[in-house]
């Protein structure tokens, strides 16, 4: 069961095409509000120094949604290394397999996958919506159900002396 979501900041929650003109995004605000209402722990990872990451989140009116803000202030944690994500996962106090990392860029996605968390790769700022998460969770629910059905068929095959068609 997914209990936490870790976001990359730039290009995911803050439009990296407009870094100097950060303004509140109603869609991002509503998305985070709905995700928090689902009792998910939310975290964000950024290469920006703490004051910059915090300022971007404040300007976009998103800061109060996050349990964890992981940045490079005084640390040797860099993306695309999985260490920044691992540290954020630890700070959520959840196991990696209960977290989803939302990231863009091949290197960042590969680093996120190295953590053992689920990864939701995105192409752009506009793609990160509540509907994206609804689809992700529905796919996970369906795929979990498919796995259960396949395991049930496997047991049925065993009970019929392996005479089951595949």
More confident residue, 124 or 139: 124
Is residue 88 very low, low, confident or very high in pLDDT (cuts 50, 70, 90)? very high
Cβ–Cβ under 8 Å, residues 8 and 103: yes
For 91-118, what is each residue's pLDDT tens digit? Answer: 999 999 999 999 988 998 999 999 999 9
CATH no. for 4-125? 3.40.50.1000
Average pLDDT value for the chain: 77
Return the pLDDT at 56: 80
- How much is the pTM? 0.77
Digit-coded pLDDT (tens) for 10-54? 667 766 555 556 666 788 888 998 898 888 999 998 877 667 777
Give pLDDT, residue 77. Answer: 64
Domain range summary for the chain, segments of one domain joined by +: 4-125, 129-166
Is 120's pLDDT higher than 80?
yes
Integer Cα distance of 38 and 36 in angstroms: 5
CA 37 vs CA 34, 43, 56, 65, 131: distances in Å: 5, 15, 23, 10, 15
Closest Cα to residue 96, out of 160, 6, 16, 12? 6
Cβ proximity of 16 and 127 under 8 Å: no
């Amino acid at each position: 069961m997914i209990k936490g979501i870790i976001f990359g900041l730039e290009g995911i929650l803050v439009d990296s095409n407009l870094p100097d003109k950060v303004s509140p995004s109603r869609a991002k605000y509503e998305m985070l509000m709905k995700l928090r209402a689902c009792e998910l722990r939310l975290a964000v990872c950024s290469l920006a120094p703490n004051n910059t990451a915090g300022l971007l989140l404040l300007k976009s009116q998103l800061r109060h949604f996050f349990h964890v803000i992981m940045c490079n202030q005084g640390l040797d944690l860099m993306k695309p290394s999985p260490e920044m994500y691992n540290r954020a996962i630890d700070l959520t106090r959840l196991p990696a397999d209960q977290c989803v990392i939302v990231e863009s860029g091949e290197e960042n996605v590969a680093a996120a996958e190295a953590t053992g968390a689920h990864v939701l790769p995105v192409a752009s700022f506009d793609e990160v919506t509540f509907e994206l998460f609804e689809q992700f969770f529905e796919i996970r629910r369906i795929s979990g159900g498919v796995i259960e059905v396949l395991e049930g068929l496997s047991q049925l095959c065993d009970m019929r002396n392996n005479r089951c068609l595949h």
